[in-house]
Structure 1
Amino acid sequence: MFPTFTLRYARLPSRFFERFDPVPVPSPTLVAFNRPLAEELGFDLEAFDESLATELFSGNRLPEGVEPLAMAYAGHQFGNFVPRLGDGRAVLLGEVTDRKGRVRDIQLKGGGRTPFSRGGDGRAPLGPVLREYLVSEAMHAMGIPATRALAAVTTGERVMRRVPEPGAVLTRVAASHIRVGTFQYFAARGDVDGLRALADHVMERHYPELADTEHLNRPEGERYLALLEAIQKRQARLIAKWMGVGFIHGVMNTDNMTVSGETIDFGPCAFMESYDPRTVFSSIDEGGRYAYGNQPGIGQWNLARLAETLLPLIDEDQEQAIARATQLLESYSAHFEAEKHWVMRAKLGLAREEEGDGELIDSLLEAMQTGRADFTLTFRQLSDVAASPESEPALLELFERPEVMQAWLGQWRERLTRESVGLDAIAARMRESNPRYIPRNHRVQEALEAADRGDFAPFETLRQILARPFDDQPGREEYSLPAAPTERVFRTFCGT
């Protein structure tokens, strides 16, 4: 049933990981299976056997040819460096090559206490597993790079967090699970050979253009500086895409930032409703370090920590290495602003670039903050207004102070006159960039609470809706609406 596994990471030096077999669970039940993703990965779905799949996705049985392991990494957690973290409850089975020729990790999350668990139980509660399933798949459907959810299995046991909760295992798929913190693990030990092996592995896997003959003939330091630049550009693009849908990661520690440019770890994440860059949901982010508006700056901070690990590879002269890395990092803001403007221009229906577009974007966000307007609905209603001016009252109803939006609309309409296509085409283009449906916090919470009671119907309904975020879905309009005052979710929690 499973495709053929390869063991690229397992063939790296043994200090990169700890061998670890998943700990069996007492009574697994398959509650979600992502058939389109399985098809993409090369699964033999004609031979699909649910009982066998349940055993495999729970970790009770291992696919042929795997050598399970827990990956070693370190990381800055809320600014404080921890030199040894690692996979405390995740087990990398290996890699498969999908039908498009892409190498993908397959990992079990919640597979039991590993050598990196640091006293934890190594298990995962059902709620966070289903949250990650819903949000990661929604992100993918919105065109935002993210790890994927292949399956969710309940374990038949309860795990203790704030209260006892049903246990579960998530099967997660990623371009890789290598993080900034993976580099920090070797840097903290002064292991330059380990850093070089890791960097070369990352170039071969994620940035093959840096591993071609032309780059191999360049001085070594230039190759590793080019790697830092490539990772920086992907991260700037990723965070700009987050900002474009109001996504708040919630825990942007360096061990939660992949070098592949995918979103990873969806514990306390959430989507903003009323626009406010200070918005925080994570219960553990008491100081607002990872608030919505801080995410671009935190991305640069994390990249600076990555740059520190690469200094011995960039130049033997540390001062020279610092100068070269610093110069590169200073270009991050320009990369991010360019990516942000590309995302936001698309949301406003602007295909061509003009000098005043940045001010137009910023003034809209100011109007939304002043009017406490819902982020997602504002942009979606703008898509309707572009083609149909009579839709304007519905847009203005989203604002506590509609006059601030009315003033902005005149500027926007004047700007649209300089586009090369008509308003109907602009509106259609906008609908491809502005989702109608996002994983609204209260809807996710409803689905998780029902699942805790053994009712997975709300989860399945929400999963189907979020698979088509840009489509109008008649009869499901209520799922596009923000929470009523009594439904609002103010805090989200990690699953550890």
Structure 2
Amino acid sequence: MTLHIPFDNSYARLPDGFFTRARPTPVSAPSLIAFNRPLAEDLGIEGADDDPLLAAILAGNVGAEGSDPLAQLYAGHQFGGFSPQLGDGRAHLLGEVVARDGIRRDIQLKGSGPTPYSRRGDGRAWLGPVLREYVVSEAMHALGVPTTRALAAVRTGEEVYRERPLPGAVLTRVAQSHIRVGTFQVFSSRGLYDDLGTLYDYTVARHYPDVASPAELLERVCARQAALVAQWMSLGFIHGVMNTDNCTLSGETIDYGPCAFMDSYAPDTVYSSIDRGGRYAYAAQPDVIVWNMAQLATALVPLMPDQDGAVRAFTEIIHAMPDLIRSAWLNRFAAKLGIAEPEAQDAALIADFLDLLHRGQGDFTNGFRALAEGSARDQLTDRTAFDDWEARRRERTGPGSEALMQSVNPAFIPRNHRIEQMISAAVEGDDRPFHHLSAVLARPFDDQPEAEELRRPPLPSEVVPATFCGT
């Protein structure tokens, strides 16, 4: 069967100022590492996994019928400083498909060569970040988190130069769209209000067809982002680069660069090698997303005929967001304790367990999973304090609490040291750890005795203190 991708490209029909048409740069020897067949089927992609065209198309060497490659323009606040022009510097949007669920999705190559927005970069990705994003984004999907997906990973047969020569690779990323807060910022900051209105209309039609005003759009995006960040927190996930250009209007997690899941619980944990001030630390994420939404609000103001009134209305929406996050956080963490119908006072119960983990340097994921397995006492150093706390927790739980905890507290997460071990093996040509890790993480809530080693926190010699964006 010939490879067929049912492209139906709407973004490419927007005005030329939204993007630059650009073709991926061919590579010397593309070879497939992984192809996500279940996702491909959901997207309506037909063809055999051993089709020689597959690696060639997903490396950018051959243009698929119906594709219309382009690099999207956007701006963004990066670590609080505004960059007036960013854009896809090493990514090409091949086009869109309408999946079997009726939702339109982008298919994008990442690491596919330079574009007009590359800012002196080489436009390439090395193998490590490609495999990291593949594993972590698919793990997030299995955990139930709104996220971009990984359709494929391809070796290029070429070297990429970072601190040293490294094997190159290309990721195929799937998203409900790549519209970012920074996409609105680029037109608003330049005073291109006709284009800003076009972007607003397009975003509403694609993601929020029942929205009737910019204020309502802001409110809906804030709600999605509040729920998303609360879910990150409940899994111990740290994004690492919550810049406005990494914040989507669809409410999906995007860009898995210097991200990580915590091992030992510590609210000030930072993994990003470039986040020297802790702006994007674990506990700072709720504040940052409110700040990001304030930037979206600012970008939307020019669309309103009464701008003074818009500022007042938008300010109310932004000021309401912390309560949305706290409510979502309470619901997520209460479920992790087995509490199906949380009340306000349960926040103290949650905080006390987190404090027990923090003081005892307990593992975040294993500590919560152990509550469901009845072995949490063994995870902590202050067992007397835990016994007192556990008595309080049991007063708040009822029948089915263990099943609830099993369903929301994963046994398996993509631990940073395992990802690094997987990457090291792949650099040497051994993809077995990548495939094994991917298979286990596809069932994160299941007991998998044969993979028990992947639950283990890192030994002191295995700790990975910092992660990198790969550019």
Contact in 1 for aligned 2:237/2:260 (Cα 8 Å): yes
Supply the distance in 2 between the matched residues of 1:3 and 1:152 (Cα, whole angstroms): 17
Match of 1:320 among 304, 309, 321: 309
Supply the distance in 2 between the matched residues of 1:49 and 1:465 (Cα, whole angstroms): 24
Percent identity for Structure 1 against Structure 2: 54
Supply the distance in 2 between the matched residues of 1:320 and 1:273 (Cα, whole angstroms): 46
Deviates more, 1:292-301 or 1:341-350: 341-350
Contact in 2 for aligned 1:30/1:50 (Cα 8 Å): no
Contact in 2 for aligned 1:371/1:402 (Cα 8 Å): no
Q: Match of 2:415? A: 440
Supply the distance in 2 between the matched residues of 1:474 and 1:400 (Cα, whole angstroms): 26
Match of 1:397 among 378, 383, 386: 378
Q: Match of 2:106? A: 105
Supply the distance in 1 between the matched residues of 2:352 and 2:367 (Cα, whole angstroms): 14
Q: Give yes or no for the alignment of 1:145 onto 2:146.
A: yes
Q: Match of 1:29? A: 31
- Cα 1:187–1:118, aligned 2, differ >3 Å: closer, same or farther? same
Match of 2:15 among 13, 16, 39: 13
Q: Give yes or no for the alignment of 1:288 onto 2:278.
A: yes
Match of 1:427 among 402, 418, 433: 402
1:384 Cα deviation from its structure 2 partner: 1.4
Secondary structure in structure 2 of the residue aligned to 1:406 = helix
Contact in 2 for aligned 1:28/1:155 (Cα 8 Å): yes
1:356 Cα deviation from its structure 2 partner: 1.6
Correspondence list, 1:244-393, <5 A: 244-314=234-304, 316-385=305-374, 391=375
Supply the distance in 1 between the matched residues of 2:110 and 2:439 (Cα, whole angstroms): 23
The superposition leaves residues 206-237 of structure 1 with CA deviations (integer Å, 9 ceiling, x where unpaired) of: 11121xxxx3xxxxxxx110000000000000
Q: Give yes or no for the alignment of 1:473 onto 2:463.
A: no
Supply the distance in 1 between the matched residues of 2:181 and 2:144 (Cα, whole angstroms): 23
Supply the distance in 2 between the matched residues of 1:355 and 1:267 (Cα, whole angstroms): 35
The superposition leaves residues 254-289 of structure 1 with CA deviations (integer Å, 9 ceiling, x where unpaired) of: 000011000000011000011111000110101110
Q: Which residue identity does 2:231 align to in structure 1?
A: K
Gaps in structure 1 of 5+ consecutive residues: 216-222, 386-390
Supply the distance in 2 between the matched residues of 1:355 and 1:75 (Cα, whole angstroms): 36
Secondary structure in structure 1 of the residue aligned to 2:408 = coil
Contact in 2 for aligned 1:371/1:404 (Cα 8 Å): no
1:48 Cα deviation from its structure 2 partner: 4.3
What is the TM-score of this pair, normalised by structure 2? 0.98
Q: Match of 2:172? A: 171
Q: Give yes or no for the alignment of 1:209 onto 2:210.
A: yes
Q: Match of 2:182? A: 181
Q: Which residue identity does 2:458 align to in structure 1?
A: A
What is the TM-score of this pair, normalised by structure 1? 0.93
Q: Which residue identity does 2:4 align to in structure 1?
A: F
Gaps in structure 2 of 5+ consecutive residues: none
Secondary structure in structure 2 of the residue aligned to 1:476 = helix
Match of 1:415 among 396, 403, 409: 396
Contact in 2 for aligned 1:435/1:470 (Cα 8 Å): yes
Supply the distance in 2 between the matched residues of 1:50 and 1:292 (Cα, whole angstroms): 43
Supply the distance in 2 between the matched residues of 1:486 and 1:405 (Cα, whole angstroms): 29
Supply the distance in 1 between the matched residues of 2:222 and 2:368 (Cα, whole angstroms): 28
Q: Give yes or no for the alignment of 1:126 onto 2:127.
A: yes
Secondary structure in structure 1 of the residue aligned to 2:174 = strand
